[in-house]
Structure 1
Amino acid sequence: MKPWENFLTDEDRAVIARGRFGRRMGFGQRAAVVVIDAQRYMVGEPGNDAAWPSSCSDVGRRAVQEIARVVQAAQGVGVPCFFTLFALDRDGSDIGVYGRKRDLLDSEHWCLAGSRGAELVPELSPAQGDVVFVKKKPSGFHGTPLLGYLVERRIDTVIVLGGATSNCIRSTVFDASSYNFRTIVPQEAVFDRIPISHAISLFDMDRQFADVVTVQETLDYLARARDGTVV
């Protein structure tokens, strides 16, 4: 069952059916994996989440295990992986309007540039040919070289992993769709701090802009790839 099913009424389902929402776009032939902000500050550490102000706790840590499965499968068949890191300057000079919604936190366990919190989680290891870059806004596309990399590699399918579902995943998915990439979201490999935010964001993405699938469906697709192309 999809994470959002318990939140829908019969009237909601009638609206979806009438509008013919949620049709499958499917995977294409050349995929890339985009891992959004799978950083230490996002998942904290067992038994000490109180010290990590943005931790998604066990939910995030379980998702990281699924993210690692997808990344390793992609790396094994030559599918390129892109890793974003959200990192803010310690003086807050690049926080922008986000600073009007949230305080700049003076913590080595947050997303400050050079801090332990800003590091990629140790479960993930970029391979030769993978790309790691810093972003300053929610979308992995905004102000980054991601689009150019995807175009150069003739990518038609973007598999989006990481967190948080209602923030940076959602905005990256909407941008990927706007650029006409087939956009895939493996539901066990994305995570959020608040369950309802996670569920409804997945619903919104699946309804119009992406296919929300299982990790196993994603692994089955990647298993058919050779040198980055699905045959």
Structure 2
Amino acid sequence: MKPWESYLDDADRAVLARGRFGTRMGFGARPAVVVIDAQRYMVGEEGADAEWPSSCGDVGRAAVGQIAAVVGAAQASGVPCFFTRFELERDGSDIGVYGRKRALLESPNWCLAGTRGAELVPQLEPGPRDLVFVKKKPSGFHGTPLLGYLVDRKVDTVIVVGGATSNCIRATVFDASSWNFRVIVPQQAVFDRIPVSHAISLFDMDRQFADVVDAAEVTAYLQGIGGHAGGTDHA
């Protein structure tokens, strides 16, 4: 059962059926994996989450294993992977309007530049064909080179993993769909701090902007790509 099913009643399901929401878009031929903010500050440490103010806890750490499986399958098949890191200057000079909603946290376990919190989780190792870049806003597209690289590599399918589902995943998925990419979200490879936010965000994405599917289905798809993936002819 999808995580949002328990929140829907018969009237909701009737609306979905009448509007023919949730049609499957399916996978294309030239995928890329976009890993959103799979950083230490997002997943904390087992038994020490109180020291990590933005940790998603056990659900984040469980998702990291699924993310690593998706990334590993992509890298083995020559599928390009793009890793974003959200980080802020220690003086908050680049926090923008976000600073009106949340205080700047002076902690090495948050997303401040140069701290361990801002590092990618150690389970993920970008390959020689992969790219890592910093973003300052929720979407992986906003103010970054992501779109240009996807176009250059003739990508038609964007697989989005990471966190948090209701924030940066959601923003990236909506932007990818707006640029007319097929968007795939492996359900077990995204995570959030609050279960209802996670469930309803997945529902909203699956309803109109992405296919929310089992992570094993994505891994199998990537394993079957072989040498035909987008970006295999790029250094």
- Scaled by the length of structure 2, what TM-score is found? 0.97
Per the alignment, residue 154 of structure 1 pairs with: 154
Aligned pairs for 1:173-212 (under 5 A) are: 173-212=173-212
Contact 1:110/1:117 (8 A) holds in 2: yes
Query: In structure 1, what is the Cα distance between the partners aligned to 2:228 and 2:22?
Result: 27
CA distance in 2, matches of 1:206, 1:146: 22
RMSD: 0.8
Alignment partner, residue 74 of structure 1: 74
Q: Which amino acid aligns with 2:101?
A: K
Q: Secondary structure at the match of 2:24?
A: coil
Q: Secondary structure at the match of 2:94?
A: coil
Q: CA deviation at 1:227?
A: 2.3
Question: Is 1:12 aligned to 2:12, yes or no?
Answer: yes
- Which runs of 4 or more aligned residues in structure 1 lie more than 4 Å from their structure 2 counterparts after TM superposition? none
Secondary structure at the counterpart of residue 91 of structure 1 = coil
Distance 1:93 1:228, change over 3 A: farther
C-alpha contact 2:87 2:134 (8 A) present in aligned 1 = yes
Q: Which residue of 1 aligns with 2:125?
A: 125
The TM-score with structure 1 as length reference comes to 0.99
Query: Which residue of the partner structure matches residue 26 of structure 2?
Result: 26
CA distance in 1, matches of 2:35, 2:229: 19
Is the 8 Å Cα contact of residues 82 and 132 (structure 2) preserved in structure 1? Answer: yes
One-letter code of the match for 1:204?
Answer: D
Map 1:32-43 to 2 at 5 A: 32-43=32-43
- 2:225 is the alignment partner of 1:225: yes
3-state DSSP of counterpart to 2:117: coil
1:87 alignment partner AA: E
The offset of 1:161, in angstroms, is 0.1
Kept after mapping to 1: 8 A contact 2:76/2:223 = no
How far has the Cα of 1:229 moved from its partner?
A: 2.5
The answer for the alignment partner of 1:91 in structure 2 is 91
Unaligned runs of 5+ in 2: 231-235
* Structure 1 unaligned blocks of 5 or more: none
Q: Distance in 1 between matches of 2:219 and 2:113?
A: 33
Q: Is 1:57 matched with 2:49?
A: no
Number of matched pairs: 230
AA matched with 1:2: K
CA distance in 2 between counterparts of 1:229 and 1:83 reads 18
2:167 maps to which residue? 167
1:2-45 CA deviation, whole Å, 9 max, x = no partner?
01000001000000000000000000000000000000000000
